[in-house]
Structure 1
Amino acid sequence: MSMRRSLLARREAVAACGVSRSTIRRRREAGDLPGCVRDEERGWLIPVDALLAAGFRLNAPAPPEDAAGADADGWAARGLETTKPPALGAGGGVPAGRPALAAGLPPL
């Protein structure tokens, strides 16, 4: 019985693994994706087995957003502080008579 290996074009591998084109290229060039072949029409073809062996997850679902702690930058989901520092100027942390500090300049 003949078993055909599944091959993905680089752009298909990028979409399936959720990584950048450069990640796939670097891993291929480093030898982490054995069995890749160059096709004149489709470009680089990467074996699915090689992607899995290299630790990529194919079509992995995105983690669900926490509606209660969701924020635009995803900081809360990573357990990072989400409060913003006070704005500078007009009592916002700049010592009186020290405007050079607010501009990032050394004091005179």
Structure 2
Amino acid sequence: MSRPLLSQREAAAACGVSRSTIRRRREAGGLPGCVQDDERGWLIPVEALLAVGFRLRAPAPAEDASAPAKNVAARTRRPRRRLAGISRGCGRSGSGRRY
């Protein structure tokens, strides 16, 4: 089973580069096996993209989606502790502070 042929736009999106990067590589002969289609334009074999060093992006696993949330919690821990200390100090009598 052969890998699919991608349009220049699809190849650019799959590799994380611009369409002009794909076009320049194709025009320079750096992507062997490209064919022109009347409906989709130039089609680039996935094998050609991999052969010249492009890496196809894969969707991130579902568990990685929670990583930014953990980062946010870590970054807000210190300010939350500080706010807790301030609010505890607000109830003290004789502190000399008026709010």
Shorter-chain TM-score: which interval?
0.5 to 0.7
Q: Contact between 1:7 and 1:48, CA under 8 Å: does it hold in 2? A: yes
- Pick the aligned partner of 1:41 from 39, 42, 45: 39
TM-score (norm 2): 0.56
The one-letter code of the counterpart of 1:24 is: I
- Pick the aligned partner of 2:15 from 12, 17, 37: 17
How far apart are residue 4 of structure 1 and its match? 3.6
Structure 2 gap ranges (5+):
61-66, 73-99
Aligned pair count reads 64
Give a deviation string over 1:47-79, Cα, whole Å, max 9, x none. 0000000100001579x98x69xxxxxxxxxxx
Moved over 4 A (4+): none
Larger radius of gyration: 2
2:87 matched residue in structure 1: none
Identity, % of aligned positions: 77
Q: Comparing both structures, which one devotes a greater share of its residues to helix? A: 2
Tell which has more relative contact order, 1 or 2 (C-alpha 8 A, sep 6+): 2
Q: What is the CA–CA distance in structure 2 between the aligned matches of 1:49 and 1:4, rounded to whole Å?
A: 9
Structure 1 gap ranges (5+):
69-108
Q: What is the CA–CA distance in structure 1 between the aligned matches of 2:2 and 2:20, rounded to whole Å?
A: 27
Q: 1:40 to 1:52 in 2, by over 3 A?
A: same
